[in-house]
Chains A and B, each alone.
Chain A
Amino acid sequence: MNRIRTAPPRYWLVALTLVFFLGFPTVISSFLASEWTQALILAIAIMGLNILVGYSGQLSLGHGAFMALGAYVSAILAHRYKMDYLVTVPIAAVFTGGVGFLFGIPALRLSPLYLALATFALAVVTPSLIKRPAGLTGGVQGILVLQPDPPDFAREAFAFVTGTAMTSDQWIYYITLLLAVVLFWLAWNLVRHRPGRAMRAIRDGEVAAAASGVNVAGYKTLAFGISAFYGGTAGSLFALSTGFISPDTFPVSLSIQLLVGAVVGGLASIPGPLLGAIFAFFLPIGSNQWVPSQTWLPDQITSTVKNAGPAVSYGVVLILIMMFAPNGIVGLLRSGYVILNRRLRGASDPKTGQMPPDPQTV
């Protein structure tokens, strides 16, 4: 009992989150499950970006390119070489991770701003690069990815709980959830141990880190490799969940969406990417649908919002969030928690509730 009471609140949060994500699809429709699948996929990609940007301090404006690579590796293996799709996921992840590692080597020589330009350029030209080897990638025709039927054990288990048959979308949701959990757990371990400490040391001061014996070049390229590994996994799952990929599936805006998710969620935190992904996925979809569907608002407002288009609402919400939560949602929650804690305990904490520079977990 005593142990339970003193257990840090973060374990409770993790357990609650897990239960929530496990049980969620049994009460929502198959369609909503497919939307949450995409949010989880973005969460994986954003976690990769978070390791690169948040922990190792290297900026990437082009992570969508790694997702594209992972997606195409999987789709081509499954489509042309008739491999089982789930087998292709780790292959795509490792391959993309390797490419990311190689990309990280010239990136070492680039100052942060040039790295931003290089990665941004990569994101901009990704669609035209995909179009070129049309024989391999299908060019603008794209590649159709067949979605797997759920296996018997999953089908039975799902039917036992909900009484309805499991759809492909729901099966893909659980595959994605499993990988997301594993990858988040790995990331959590990474940042708590030696590599994570080394990366943060580099982020906070390269020369000092080198002076303390950290292999700066090695860890920086490693961060790129790991980050691309996450991106490749996400891309591979992305192709599976949308069922079709083509050059326009990976526009610059995807890379921007990932960065927005990483910052909005909260950099250098473990729950940040999850929250950021939920935001980054649902805001563009919901920004133009929510207001017009509210019947209590005056017609003039709803029709103006509708006519103004989704870009306006998206822009406004994004700016507002960043103004009120400059350190991301996690930063906001954390300062809120600190304030609340102080109130509850009545202790006069001189600290301002500002986000500590480098928090590891919730």
Chain B
Amino acid sequence: MGRKAPGFAAVAAFLLSVGACGGGITPTTQTDVGITSNSILLGTTNALSGAAAAYGTIANAENAYFTHVNNNQGGVNGRKITFKILDDGYNPAQTVPLTKQLVEQDQVFAMFSGLGTQTQTSVREYLNSKKVPQLFVATGATTWGKDFNSNQWTLSWQPPYQGEARIYAKDVLANHPNASIGVLYQNDDYGQDYLKGLTDGLGDKASTMIKDKESYDVTAANPFAQLTKLKGAGVDTVFLFSTPKPTIQSLAFITAGLHWEPTIYLNSVSNPQVYMGLAAKSGAALKNVTSVGYIKDPTDPQWAGDEGMKLYKQVIANCSTCNVNDGFNIYGVAVAYTMVDVIKQAGSNLTRANIMKIASSQLNESNPFLLPGIKVTTTSSDHFPIMQEQVITWAGTGWKLQGSLIDERGTIK
């Protein structure tokens, strides 16, 4: 992307000067609802309140990136991005009226980075029938990429949970072929998708290797009973497919509460260093812990001098409520970067259809906030933008990248 930027800046400058010259010449631009000569309106629903409010900061971080683009680059092709954020409290019944409001009343050009699988599924049919882009939904469910052909106005961004779990499967088969596996998973699409990916990835060995599966509900006070069961089942390798809080509790309980030292795999949502630090403070030994990453961790010292990280810190200063160390914030900035990239590429043909065409089949982006080498890519036959991740292991004070990027593209059908 870096290479292209000057070109677009020139185009933008040209368009601006055309505008400044005062009107006689109108460039042949095609536009759509939500676009004016100097603005683009995007909308989102996120959980700003309620039990999932920890995710709400993602929307604010995205807004911080748009503000950055508006202030430092004069917007995208001369159009400033306005981002309307509404709170659905992670409740699908709220997502529907709020999305209708954004589309029908506020007249947004596109929905961007709506949070949650059930919430975004609840409006997928509606947005597709209205032909409104539902871009880069913030969920790793497989359905977004897999069912693209029946929902061509919907696209996700982050690596699907199943793809990630397949990487763990590969790693286990390579490094612990005789492992006896126990899985702790959250009883929703998130946990179930991870479990499916792991099972598929292990192939015919799944039935012999996976000794025990324990699920917990989001209403549980803690997952201690489940972990006790896993220990009782005699497993030596534990997979934690859980959200940050239960993961931290589990890591601590395994060491301090059960005096147990299994090999641990934990999912990427829960691996930011902030959380690992919390687990260590709560008594976790954090030995033999493996995860995968695709995004740069703001607290990781290895990125201290990194250009992308510097940009992130500059961007996030635009958001007064954002915690710079929160891994969700760099996620928001990174996905907003892709969104701006798509709008830039659309150039003068700023229609909903063209935006969808670029996002779903012509992406080829190096995102400065992702691990080096990762490409955000879509083609006419593949609609999972990010499919590369790298195995990381915990080295006492930080994550260490292992081996090279693993590409799971094409494995999920």
Contacts and interface: CB of A to CB of B under 8 A. Distances in A.
Instruction: Note whether A and B contact each other (Cβ less than 8 A).
Output: yes
Contacts of B396: none
A250 to B, nearest CB: 8
Contacts of A141: 121, 143, 189
A169 B94 CA distance: 16
A249 B92 contact: yes
Interface stretch (B66-74, B100-108, B158-166, B200-208): B100-108
Contact of B125 (A128, A244, A245, A248): A244
Interface string A168-181: 01000000000000
B96 A244 contact: yes
Contact of B320 (A238, A245, A307): A307
B93 A249 contact: yes
B52 to A, nearest CB: 10
A31 B86 contact: no
B87 A242 contact: no
Interface in A55-104: none
Given A29-B105, A144-B125, A251-B91, A242 B96 contact: yes
B404 interface: no
Contacts of A38: 97
B160 to A, nearest CB: 15
A119 interface: no
A353 interface: no
Interface in A291-315: 307, 309-311, 314
B105 A243 contact: no
A244 B92 contact: yes
Interface string A243-258: 1111111110110000
Interface stretch (A202-210, A220-228, A281-289, A337-345): A281-289
Given A128-B187, A142-B118, A309-B49, A243 B96 contact: yes
Given A128-B217, A247-B118, A307-B320, A253 B91 contact: yes
Interface in B109-138: 116-119, 121-123, 125-126
B219 interface: yes
B98 A238 contact: no
B306 interface: no
A246 B122 CA distance: 8
Interface in A225-273: 238, 242-251, 253-254
Interface in B40-86: 48-50, 53, 56, 86
A13 to B, nearest CB: 28
B263 interface: no
A333 interface: no
A109 B118 CA distance: 38
Given A249-B92, A309-B48, A243 B101 contact: no
Contacts of B100: 31, 34-35, 169
A253 to B, nearest CB: 7
State which size class the interface on B falls in: 35 or more
Contacts of A197: none
A246 B121 contact: yes
B176 to A, nearest CB: 30
B87 A310 contact: yes
A157 interface: no
A140 interface: yes
A136 interface: no
A251 B217 CA distance: 13
B320 A242 contact: no
B321 A307 contact: yes
A131 B216 CA distance: 12
Interface in A119-163: 124-125, 128, 131, 139-142, 144
B90 interface: yes
A242 B93 contact: yes
A249 B91 contact: yes
Contacts of B118: 140, 142, 246-249
A200 to B, nearest CB: 33
A163 to B, nearest CB: 19
Nearest to A38: B97
B32 interface: no
B192 interface: yes
B140 interface: no
A34 B97 contact: yes
B114 to A, nearest CB: 14
A278 to B, nearest CB: 14
A335 interface: no
A30 interface: yes
A310 B48 contact: yes
Interface string B303-343: 00000000000000000110000000000000000000000
B219 A35 contact: no
A193 B333 CA distance: 63
B298 interface: no
Interface of B: 48-50, 53, 56, 86-87, 89-94, 96-98, 100-101, 103-105, 116-119, 121-123, 125-126, 143, 187-189, 192, 217, 219, 320-321
Given A35-B100, A140-B118, A247-B188, 15 more contacts: A29-B104, A31-B100, A31-B104, A35-B101, A140-B192, A242-B92, A242-B96, A244-B121, A246-B92, A246-B121, A248-B91, A248-B92, A248-B118, A253-B50, A307-B321
Interface of A: 29-32, 34-35, 38, 124-125, 128, 131, 139-142, 144, 169, 238, 242-251, 253-254, 284-285, 288-289, 307, 309-311, 314
Among all A-B residue pairs, the 4 with the closest Cβ atoms: A31-B104, A244-B122, A311-B49, A140-B189
14 contacts: A29-B105, A31-B105, A125-B219, A141-B143, A141-B189, A169-B100, A242-B96, A244-B125, A246-B122, A249-B118, A253-B91, A285-B98, A307-B321, A310-B49
